[in-house]
Structure 1
Amino acid sequence: MGSDDFYRLVRAWLTIHLPRARRLSPHTVRSYKTALNALLDYLRQTRGLQVGEVSFEALDHAALTGFGIWLLETKQLAPSSVNQRVAAIKSFLSYCAGEDPALVALWLDAKRIRPVRTSDRAPDALDMAAVEALIRTPGQDTPRGLRDTTIIVLLFDTAARIQELLDLTPADIETDAGQGRVTLTGKGRKTRTVPIMDTTAGHLDQYLAAFHPDARDSATPFFFTTRAGQRHQMSQDNISYLLNKHAAAARERCPGIPDRIHAHQLRHARAMQMLRAGVPLPHIKEFLGHANIATTSIYATADNKMVRDAIQKAASSTPDPVALWKGDDDLILQLAGLH
C-alpha cells in the first residue's frame, strides 16, 4: 500500500472518524494530530522519508518502537507524553485495520509495543517566588502587559490546562467580590467551575473593561489575537511564547526560574500550594479536573519526596488518487488534515 492509501486513511480518521463517529473534542483531535505529525517528523529525521514518501510499509515494529525512544531521548518528552503519542498511533492503526484487513497484521504488531515506564518523579512545579516574579514582569501599563499579566494570573489561580484557558469566553467569567469563579471546559467536554481569588477577579475586571467593554456575556474568545481586523482565539504557541519571554526577563531577579517554562508548571504550582495549605486530595482532584484521584496523588508523593530531599540536603551540610498525495509537503499535510 502506497502513500495515497496512508494519507487517505489519515484524513478520514482525523476529519470523520474521531470528530463524528467517536465524537471526540477538538482538543483531543488536535492531540492525535500532534502525534501523527511527530511520527512524520521522526520518519523524516531517522529514515530520510519525506512526507510524500511515507506509507504503511514504513511503520514496522522497529520504526514504532524507535519512535517512542526518539520521543523520550531526542525530543525529551516525559514518559507520560511519550505513551500518549504512541497510544494515538496505535489507535490510528486500529482504525486502519478496521478499514482494510490487509493492515490487521500491522496493528497487531503495534499492539505488542509496551508503554514507557513512568517514574514517580515530582511534577516540575514552579516555586512561589518564581510564580510571583513571573506575574509581576509584564506590567499593566500597556494593553499587552495587562493581557499577559491576566493570562499568567489566571493560569495559576485556576490551575487551568492551557487549552481550557484558550477556550474561555467572557460568559465563562464571574467577578463579583467573594463569589468570583471561572467555568472551564476540560477533557471530554466536561465543565467544572472553580473559585478565584478577589485579586484575580480584579485583574479580570480590568481586562474585561479594556478588551471586552461591550461584550461581557459574549461567546467570543476571551483571549484573542487580531488578524485582518478579525478576532481569533490565541494559540498554545502564543501562550508558550509570552510565558518564556516574560520568564527570561523575570530570571534577572529570580534566577531559579528554569531556562524554559510551560503553562503546566503554573498548574503544578497551584496544586502543590493547595496541598501544602491542607486542602484534601479529593478537593484538589475536582479543582484540577482529574478523572482519577491516582493522578492527583502524584502531588502528595512529590511533596513527601521534597521533604526527604530537604532532610538529606540538611544532613549533608552537617559534618487525484495517485497524484493527490504527491507534491509539496505542506499541501500533502493540509489535504491529510494534518495542517
Structure 2
Amino acid sequence: MNDFFDTVRRFLLDYLPKQRCLSVNTVLSYKQTLNLFVSYMQDERDVTATKLTFSRIDRDVILGFLTWLETARKCSASTRNQRLMALRSFLEFAGQMDCTQMALYLSACNIPSKESHGRIVEFLTEPSLAALLQQPDPSKPKDLRNLVFMILMYDTAARCSELLDMKVCDLRLDAKHPIAYLHGKGRKIRTVPLLGKTVQHCKQYLHKFHPTADYHSEAPLFFTVIHGTQQKMSPDTVAAFFAKYGSMAKNVCPEVPEHIHPHMMRHTRAMHLYQSGMPMVLLAQYLGHTQIETTMIYAHADTEMKRAAIQKADAVRKTKPIPNEIWADNEEMILKLSGLR
C-alpha cells in the first residue's frame, strides 16, 4: 500500500472514529470527500489508484478538484467549502504522520473558501402539508408506515437520518407527557414532545408493524422486509415515497412545490413554529442546532411575517400627522442642524 492510501486507512479507521470519536455519519462525510478526490484524479488527471501518491498532489491539483466539484458535479459553494475543509483535515493528519507533507497542508490552508450565498428555505404551506398527508391510504400497510413516518417527521422536526435511526424504545407513548428521543449529529440526544394525534398514529403503527415488541425493544422503528429479513429503512425509500406523494398532492393543490424532499418536512415544521411565535432560542434547541445563527434562516425566509410587519408599520405611520418643519424659513437653525454653527 502506498503512502497516500495508508494514510487514508489510518485517517478513516483509527484517527476519526477512535481518537476524535466522531460519529459514523461524520466519518462517512470525510470518506465521501476522499472518494471524490480519488475519482477526480482517475477521471480528470489519469492518475489511477495504484499511482496516486502525495507527490502527485499540489495546490493546483486541489484547486482543480474544487473547480471540478462545481462544474462537473454542479456542487454549491457551501458543498465545495465543506469538501475543502475535509481535505484540509486529512492533509493536516498526513502532516502529523509525516512532516514532509506539512507543506501540502499549509498550501491547502491558503486556498480561500468561497462566499456562499444564503439559500432559500423551502417549506410547505398549511394547505400543501394537508394535501401531502392526505395522499397515503392508511388501509394499505406500506402507506400506513409512510404516513406515520411523515407525521412523526413533521411533529418532531427530525432529520431523515434521525428518524431512520429511531428504535421502538425511543418512543415513550404511555408517559404522562409522550416524548420521542432523537439521536442527532455528534451523538447528541434530544427529547421532543409529541402531540396527541401523533401518539394515536404511532400506537396504530406499532400495533400493525411491531405487535409483539415491548417498549424496550431495540428493533428499528421503521423498516423494510428484504428476502424475509427486516432491515432499517433506507433514505432512498423515504425519498421515493416523498416524491410519489408530492406528485399526487400537486394534482389536487397547486401550492405544493414541484419537487418535495424529506428535509422539507423539517423546514416546514420549523417555519410553522416560528410563525406561531416560538422564540428563536427555543426553536434552535427544538431543532438541535448548536448555534442560533443556523436557525436564523427561518427568520430570513418568512416573507409573510415581513410583509405583516411592514403593513403594520405603514398603518401606524398613516395614523400620525405629518410633523411641522420647524426649521422652515429659519436659516440659523438650518445652519446649526447641518453642523455649520
Measure how far apart 1:78 and its partner are: 4.0
Which residue of 2 is the match for residue 121 of structure 1?
A: 119
Which residue of 1 is the match for residue 139 of structure 2?
A: 141
Q: How many residues align?
A: 310
Given the alignment, which residue of 57, 82, 96 partners 1:98?
96
Measure how far apart 1:177 and its partner are: 8.3
TM-score, normalised relative to structure 1: 0.82
CA offset digits 1:174-202 (Å, max 9, x no partner): 22487222110111111110112222112
Which residue of 1 is the match for residue 291 of structure 2?
A: 292
Over 3 Å counting, the alpha-carbon distance change for 1:56 and 1:184 in structure 2 is same
Which residue of 1 is the match for residue 232 of structure 2?
A: 233
CA contact (8 A) 1:177 1:201 kept: no
Which residue of 1 is the match for residue 320 of structure 2?
A: none
Given the alignment, which residue of 191, 199, 202 partners 2:200?
202
Which residue of 2 is the match for residue 273 of structure 1?
A: 272
Aligned residue identity for 1:289:
G
Query: For the residues of structure 2 that align with 1:306 and 1:55, how far apart are their CA atoms?
Result: 55
Query: For the residues of structure 2 that align with 1:205 and 1:181, how far apart are their CA atoms?
Result: 13
CA offset digits 1:124-171 (Å, max 9, x no partner): 223333332222222212111111111111222111112111110011
Measure how far apart 1:244 and its partner are: 1.9
Measure how far apart 1:306 and its partner are: 7.4
Query: For the residues of structure 1 that align with 2:224 and 2:259, how far apart are their CA atoms?
Result: 23
Which runs of structure 2 are paired with 1:29-178 in the superposition (5 Å)? 29-176=27-174
Which residue of 2 is the match for residue 328 of structure 1?
A: none
Residue 190 (structure 2) pairs with residue 192 (structure 1): yes
CA offset digits 1:72-131 (Å, max 9, x no partner): 454344433332222112111111111122221211111112222122333222333333
Residue 215 (structure 2) pairs with residue 246 (structure 1): no
Given the alignment, which residue of 18, 24, 27 partners 2:25?
27
Aligned residue identity for 2:293:
A
Aligned residue identity for 1:162:
C
| Alpha-carbon RMSD | 2.7
Query: For the residues of structure 2 that align with 1:305 and 1:4, how far apart are their CA atoms?
Result: 58
TM-score, normalised relative to structure 2: 0.81
Over 3 Å counting, the alpha-carbon distance change for 1:311 and 1:186 in structure 2 is same
Which runs of structure 2 are paired with 1:204-223 in the superposition (5 Å)? 204-215=202-213, 216-223=215-222
- Structure 1 stretches lacking a partner, 5+ long: 313-339
**245-254 vs 82-91, which moves further:** 245-254
Query: For the residues of structure 2 that align with 1:309 and 1:58, how far apart are their CA atoms?
Result: 58
CA contact (8 A) 2:275 2:305 kept: no
CA contact (8 A) 2:34 2:87 kept: yes
CA contact (8 A) 1:122 1:305 kept: no
CA offset digits 1:239-277 (Å, max 9, x no partner): 222222322332222344444333221111111111100
**243-252 vs 73-82, which moves further:** 73-82
Aligned residue identity for 1:87:
M
**275-284 vs 114-123, which moves further:** 114-123
Larger RCO, structure (CA 8 Å, separation 6 or more): 1
CA contact (8 A) 1:122 1:299 kept: no
Measure how far apart 1:283 and its partner are: 0.8
Which residue of 1 is the match for residue 11 of structure 2?
A: 13
Query: For the residues of structure 2 that align with 1:73 and 1:157, how far apart are their CA atoms?
Result: 38
Measure how far apart 1:302 and its partner are: 1.7
Query: For the residues of structure 2 that align with 1:251 and 1:45, how far apart are their CA atoms?
Result: 40
Aligned residue identity for 2:88:
K
Structure whose CA Rg is larger: 2
Aligned residue identity for 2:243:
N
Measure how far apart 1:236 and its partner are: 2.2
- Structure 2 stretches lacking a partner, 5+ long: 312-341
Over 3 Å counting, the alpha-carbon distance change for 1:178 and 1:20 in structure 2 is same
Measure how far apart 1:40 and its partner are: 3.3
Aligned residue identity for 1:260:
H
Query: For the residues of structure 2 that align with 1:310 and 1:68, how far apart are their CA atoms?
Result: 42
Aligned residue identity for 2:26:
T
CA contact (8 A) 1:179 1:195 kept: yes
